[in-house]
Amino acid sequence: MTPLSVLDLSPIVVGGNAAQSLRNSLDLARSAERVGYNRLWLAEHHNMRGIASAATAVVIAHVAAGTSKIRLGAGGIMLPNHSPLMVAEAFGTLAALHPGRIDLGVGRAPGTDQLTAQALRRNLDQDINGFPQDVVELLGYFREPEEGQRVIAVPGAGLDVPVWILGSSLFGAQLAAALGLPYAFASHFAPSDLEPAIEIYRARFQPSAYLEKPYVMLGLNVFVADTDEEAKLLQTSQQQAFVNLRTGRPGPLPPPVAGYEETLDLQARAILRHSLSCSVAGSPQTAKAGVEEFIARTGADEVMVTGMIFDHAARVRSYELLAREMIQLAEPAPAEAARAG
């Protein structure tokens, strides 16, 4: 059975705040752990009024302290924003506190706009083509120190922190293959190069000390409710947020709107059809069929599902309903069950 995992963007909803979102992230992680999801990742985004996980390592520490076995990680850390040593120390600290549970996905995008990127880094002189060298440096900090090594990550050196390459283009696929690392593709919002990226990664993969054969995890938007109609209504919050972002109006996650797509012009509809094409919305049976079709079409080794749903109880229940169909370890909580906060 193909493992299922969770990507949580820790959404801040209209009328909500970051504190509530972070409590909700812990609650979601506890539910995902209970029903058998393999891992839960959080993502680094900056200057986003609808996302609370900017300090990603801190949020992972918060969630890890409140769970016991589910793997947790970054999907991902945007490496151009940080020095490899500081990333190694942060995730080495997490691995020291929660051994065997921490993943580190790294990407080369800024995770924000150019103005915010400059505020993060103070200058943009760093060559984005230096990303492969940064990854190699980062990997070195997790190895056992060599004699005479003058810079050591403490904590970090010698700890088990699997490093993943994240990507939405062919560049990441080539790098992951060359370094023999697992690869996670952002098909949940950038599906254009999905098939060629997978093909390149698998064809060019070089076995390494980290991985003997290629391993691909793919993002998929999934919205599950008791009926197809209800699930599609829940999906409209993410659709609104995505259109708002792409048209220069980012903000908190809005409540669902019935018939939202019918209100859009042709350009906005095209944005949704293209960028969010890797999406499934429906009843548990519909969702299961959609996820299984996606796995059969792509050959994914693992699927990381995500769903930006306005109501937290409905969001948790969406993951639980999918787990009941595809993981079959636990019954979902009742729809009206109270959630944390």
Q: Residue 340 has what pLDDT?
A: 36
Q: Residue 84 has what pLDDT?
A: 96
Q: Residue 330 has what pLDDT?
A: 47
10, 131, 275 from 143: Cα distances, Å: 32, 19, 38
Query: Residues with Cβ < 8 Å from 46, sequence gap 6 or more?
Result: 54, 81, 110, 111, 112, 116, 117, 120
Q: pLDDT tens digits, residue range 67-122?
A: 999 999 999 899 988 999 999 999 999 999 999 999 999 998 765 667 776 776 65
Q: Cis peptide before 155, with omega less than 30 degrees from 0? A: yes
Beta bridge partners of 165: 106, 183
**Which residue positions in the chain have pLDDT lower than 50?**
330, 335-341
Q: pLDDT tens digits, residue range 147-171?
A: 999 999 999 999 999 999 999 999 9
Beta bridge partners of 74: 42, 104
Beta bridge partners of 280: 222
Phi, psi of 83 (to 5 degrees): -80, 140
Q: Residue 121 has what pLDDT?
A: 65
Task: Give the C-alpha separation, 132 to 20, whole Å.
Answer: 37
**154 neighbors 97 (Cβ within 8 angstroms):** no
Task: Give the C-alpha separation, 43 to 33, whole Å.
Answer: 19
Quote the DSSP letter at residue 205.
-
Fold topology of 4-218+300-326: TIM Barrel (3.20.20)
Task: Give the C-alpha separation, 66 to 286, whole Å.
Answer: 32
For the chain, where are the alpha helices, taking DSSP H only? Answer: 18-35, 56-65, 84-97, 114-121, 131-142, 170-179, 194-204, 228-246, 266-275, 284-298, 312-326
**127 neighbors 63 (Cβ within 8 angstroms):** no
Task: Give the C-alpha separation, 65 to 312, whole Å.
Answer: 21
Q: What is the pTM of this model?
A: 0.92
104, 300, 324 from 287: Cα distances, Å: 29, 17, 11
Question: What is the residue extent of each domain of the chain?
Answer: 4-218+300-326
For the chain, give the percent of residues with pLDDT over 70: 91
Task: Give the C-alpha separation, 246 to 144, whole Å.
Answer: 44
Q: Measured on CA atoms in the order 169, 249, 265, 234, is the torsion positive or negative?
A: positive
**217 neighbors 5 (Cβ within 8 angstroms):** yes
Query: What three-state secondary structure class fits 98?
Result: coil
Neighbouring CB atoms inside 10 A of 258's CB total 9
Neighbouring CB atoms inside 10 A of 323's CB total 25
